Amino acid sequence: MRTLLVGFLALATVCCSVPLSSAQDTDAAGGDRQQVLELIQAGSFEEAVKLIDEGDFPRPMAQMLYRQVMNAYMQKGNVGAAQELLEKNIAQTLDRATRPVDLLSIGNDIRLSMMLSQQSGKQGDVESWVDAAMAKLAAMQGSDSEKNSVEFPLAFAKMTALRGGGKEEQAAALADEYLTRAHALSFEGQEGEMNRNLLVSALTSSLDVVAADKQPAIMTELRELVTANINNDPKNLMNISSYSQTMMMLVNRLQGDQPDAAEQALAELREMLETITEANADNEDPALKRMLDNLNRSAASLAGRIEAAKKFAKLIGSPAPAIDAQYWVHGEVDLEGLRGKVVLLDFWAVWCGPCIATFPHLRHLHEEYADDGLQIIGVTRKYNFQWDDQAGRAVRAEEPQADEDELAMLEKFITHHELQHPTIVTPEKTTMNANYGVSGIPHAVVIDKKGVIRLVKVGSGDENAKAIEATIQQCLQEEG
């Protein structure tokens, strides 16, 4: 997740920056800009931010420099500081914007804030930011295309926030509204390309928000649209990005339940990447080369996930392998007494942002079903972390930690996150993770009352959470 967020920040630095207003602006700020970059390089992030705040930078350059600092914070693992700086940047953008172009970055910034909040546990005021930006935009002068390029990403951020806040009907209504508006745009002339990209974004953002019976048609339309775009112009960076992201999303959606279909979609993606590479053979742009290298690496990673999904399919219906506990933290369970209970194994780590993002759902499952016979057991191992009382979080230790010290850190971590179920720490040379097909975390396994594996899911998110809860409900209703 940290790599993804750093990549998102880097992309935002490129995609959301606009040219400086003049060469004079560049020259006037050049010296201070170099000082900021040198401070970032030296790790003096607070001093760099102070210099940006006090310097007379054009707003686009200030935004770019803030993102440089945020990127550095993320690389150091300081998510809270990155989120705090991002929210400061959002507030400044809202305060100083006078034209639609001044708000171009805010949709991406809000989306990034939501991603950071999954790791920090601190929720930003997304709906208020969006409503304030929308109100400001409505009062500005500008063409429909200028305003749409700002308004649509804001709406997409808001529907995601509504859905995450349990307001699913409002999110679905907003998705329907902007899908209708996107389909009504003109796809001819100079604005055609931008409007097609807005439609791609509308379809992508709406996919998990609309009713389930509408999702297959949206996925089909989205796939056909990005394929047509890339076939029409395989040299267009936006076409390359939207096609690749769409196909990777499709592979991710299929790999759990339909690994063979995911494999076919991945083969299509890889074939298209070869076509794109050939079409751009004479393009020496290093940014394009990095993009294609990253896409090919991501495709290789997806191939590994599909193979893992095939292993998961073989696990379903088989007896659950033994639980291998070297230590117990935050309680202990009699393993012999698990027969007749429904068991949820949650493989996780203290450094794993997506794992932490699942904790609210784990608390919900315990509170809702523990009295009915659900037993949740966390599964982790020693990672040489210690607890930072001042920061209120786990940090990697510089010196090797004794087992009792790492266990004390885990107890504080679990208590801090208000988890109510016990966790085991596996031995260093355990085969338990391999036996359960763990290749990434969070990795959840639902075991029924007869000790048979019924579900394996990897990753966080509402889709996995719903599948896990539905399987638990079904298993609890069955005879032991």
Mean pLDDT by 10 residues, the chain (480 residues): 43 37 41 84 89 84 87 80 88 90 85 77 81 92 90 89 85 93 88 88 89 90 94 92 93 85 94 95 89 92 87 91 96 92 97 90 96 97 91 87 94 94 96 92 96 93 90 92
Other Cβ atoms closer than 10 A to 459: 19
What are 272's two structure tokens? 């298209």
DSSP state letters, 130-150: HHHHHHHHHTS---HHHHHHH
Q: What is the pTM of this model?
A: 0.66
What confidence score (pLDDT) does residue 119 get? 67
| Cis check: omega of the bond before 354, within 30 degrees of 0 | no
**pLDDT of 20:** 35
Q: Which of 149, 65, 62, 56 is nearest to 99 (CA)?
A: 149
Record the tokens describing residue 314, joined without a space: 């073989």
Looking at residue 459, its pLDDT comes to 87
Residues in the chain: 480
DSSP H helices, 165-214, are 168-183, 192-206
Burial class (CB in 10 A: 0-12, 13-18, 19+), 270: middle
The two tokens of residue 52 are: 């940006």
pLDDT for res 359: 93
Q: CA 478, 479, 480 angle in degrees (round to 5)?
A: 115
Tell me how far apart the alpha carbons of residues 91 and 326 are, in angstroms, rounded to a whole number: 49
- CATH assignment, 2-224: 1.25.40
What CATH number does the domain located at 327-477 have? 3.40.30.10
Rg (CA), the chain: 24
Residue 396 to residue 398: CA distance in whole angstroms:
7
Q: 98-104 — which CB contacts under 8 Å span 24+ positions?
A: 98/140, 99/140, 99/141, 99/142, 100/137, 100/140, 100/142, 100/146, 100/147, 100/149, 100/150, 101/18, 101/146, 102/59, 103/133, 103/136, 103/137, 103/150, 104/16, 104/18, 104/149, 104/150
